[in-house]
Amino acid sequence: MEVIEVVGGAAVRATNILTPPAEQRICTEAATLLPVGTGDRMGMATAGNEPLEIALNPMPGRHLHDHLRALRDEHGPIAPVHFYGMPSYVILDYDELRAFFTAQEEFPGGEVYKHQLESTIGPTFISMDGSEHDVYRQLVTPAFRSRATTRFVDSQLTPLAHQMLDGIVSAGEGDLVTGFADRLPFWAISRKLGLPDGYEDRQRGWAHALLSELSDPEGAKVASAELTELIAPVIADRRSNPGDDVISQLVANDYNGRRLTDAEVLSHVRLLFAVGATTTSDALSNLLWTLLNRPELLRRLREEPDSRPSAVRELLRWEPPVPLLPRMALNGGVIAGVEVPPMSIVLGGIASANRDPGRFADPDTFDIDRPDTDVLTFGFGSKFCPGSHLAKLQLLAALEVVLDRLPELQLLDDEPVPEPSGCNLRSVSSLRCKWTAS
Ligand code: HEM
């Protein structure tokens, strides 16, 4: 279902930047209804003379990248598109996008999240800007610093990944998305936050529902209430019995004499749970898809463990799970010489910037040996993703465990393999594989 929000007098078909599964299904159907100029089902730079609707189009595999390249060829660093029916813009070049992410005063990042997340998740630093954002970010993010994150991955995440594969390894075949990539990051963030075990089957549904406030407000409300029931007693407990988890740190952290209230801890736990797990799960599905479609590279990664971190880095450049990140240009402004009117949606074309030929040589090739790995997958500037270290370590740990536990891993020959798809969150829905059973 599509929801129309009225923001500052302008009718905006507001939406999730992180598309929930139900909406992705609608996307798939909508793709067949979109006007196309070329006969290609996914369309190219323009559909006739109309800018192409970008949000409702899943653009699987190379379609998204071809489309963004064609837009750049036709329009330069910024191009007109439609985003949920709204005339919008997409920034396509690396330098322009980096400058846009840095221009927080002119194009504040919090606005879109206010409409997208706040009534379910509550006020959190993702929907704040300026000094308020900075104070709350200082209160929340120390829990994701590098040493604690490495300790967590070694002591908890890797054993969890083994435990998850224990359940499927003897079968000799299975679905590595539904059986692994769609599960591990949800377990992991729950453990990292300090939530109790026993809710593994519901975690993914809760996280996606929390991000679906605009398309399914009722579902979001239910998920939020169920999760709150789980979190509230943990907050109370950690105030007197601190542990080595994020909730303990959130209740104890002090920044210039400022501490989080219980309500603020609660909303930030909801936020971290939802945005941390969905993105990482999608990246993991894209990573496994990419490697399984390159058996020689998979073999190299088995033989050269030192090259595995480069494979993770290259995946994050080549097929980022958040390919287009919406911002609202509240007061308008000039981007790459183009006058953008007030209240416009401007999409940060992360997938396009990461393949900007002015920045990356031979950008469409998946090359784990490329020297420049400075990508925009996690944003840039004051809103740079605080979970990037956890995400990268998690992807690497998951890859290590897959290579370790599943010898002779390959795609099942008789199954058509779905490609990464989606323009808001991009992922693979299923990956049926076989391996040597042990
Ligand atoms: C591969 C996985 C991930 C990707 C691709 C990703 C991507 C991003 C991007 C692009 C931003 C910038 C948003 C903006 O500028 O508006 C961001 C911010 C954020 N991410 Fe991530 N993320 C990932 C994993 C995580 C994890 C694991 C966590 C939590 C533990 C997390 C928590 C956040 C938060 C709280 C923000 C808001 C930062 C702020 O407002 O200052 N992310 N992420």
Could you state, in order of their start, the residue ranges of all structural domains in the chain?
5-434
pLDDT band at 54 (very low <50, low <70, confident <90, very high): confident
Q: Find the 160 Cα to ligand 1 centroid distance in Å.
A: 23
Count the Cβ atoms, other than its own, within 10 Å of residue 171: 11
C-alpha separations of 188 from 3, 91, 205 in Å: 32, 33, 15
Q: Whose CA is nearest to atom 1 of ligand 1?
A: 280
Which of 107, 115, 116, 275 maximizes ligand 1 atoms within 8 Å of its Cβ, making it the mutation to test the pocket? 275
Q: Whose CA is nearest to atom 7 of ligand 1?
A: 378
How does pLDDT run across 87-122, given as a tens digit for each residue?
999 999 999 999 999 999 899 999 999 999 999 999
Q: Whose CA is nearest to atom 18 of ligand 1?
A: 385
Closest atom of ligand 1 to CA, residue 394: 27
- Angle, helix 262-292 to helix 184-193, in steps of 10 degrees: 150
* DSSP letter assigned to residue 157: I
Among 307, 437, 382, residue whose Cα is nearest residue 128: 382
Q: Find the 379 Cα to ligand 1 centroid distance in Å.
A: 8
Least confident of 144-148, 320-324, 342-346: 144-148
Q: Residues lining ligand 1, judged by CB closer than 6 Å?
A: 109, 125-126, 137, 144, 271-272, 275-276, 279-280, 283, 320-322, 325, 377-379, 383, 385-387, 390-391
State how far the Cα of 143 lies from the Cα of 140, in Å rounded to an integer. 7
Tokens 């929801």 label which residue? 3
Q: Whose CA is nearest to atom 12 of ligand 1?
A: 379
Is the pLDDT reported for residue 29 higher than 50? no
Is the pLDDT reported for residue 28 higher than 90? no
Residue 47 has phi, psi (to 5 degrees) of: -105, 100
State the fold for domain 5-434.
Cytochrome p450 (1.10.630)
State how far the Cα of 96 lies from the Cα of 330, in Å rounded to an integer. 19
State how far the Cα of 135 lies from the Cα of 204, in Å rounded to an integer. 30
Spell out the residues 6+ positions from residue 151 whose beta carbon is closer than 8 angstroms to its own.
none
Q: Find the 391 Cα to ligand 1 centroid distance in Å.
A: 9
335-341, long-range: CB < 8 A, 24+ apart: 335/78, 335/89, 335/91, 335/96, 335/100, 336/76, 336/77, 336/78, 336/91, 336/93, 336/96, 338/78, 338/89, 340/89
Q: Whose CA is nearest to atom 8 of ligand 1?
A: 378
Q: Residue 49 has what pLDDT?
A: 61
Tokens 């002591």 label which residue? 155
Q: Find the 151 Cα to ligand 1 centroid distance in Å.
A: 20
Question: Positive or negative CA dihedral for 396, 283, 125, 210?
Answer: negative
Q: Residue 22 has what pLDDT?
A: 35
Among 71, 31, 124, 146, residue whose Cα is nearest residue 347: 71
How does pLDDT run across 380-429, given as a tens digit for each residue?
999 999 999 999 999 999 999 999 999 999 999 877 899 999 999 999 99
**Model pTM?**
0.91
Q: Find the 353 Cα to ligand 1 centroid distance in Å.
A: 17
Closest atom of ligand 1 to CA, residue 272: 29
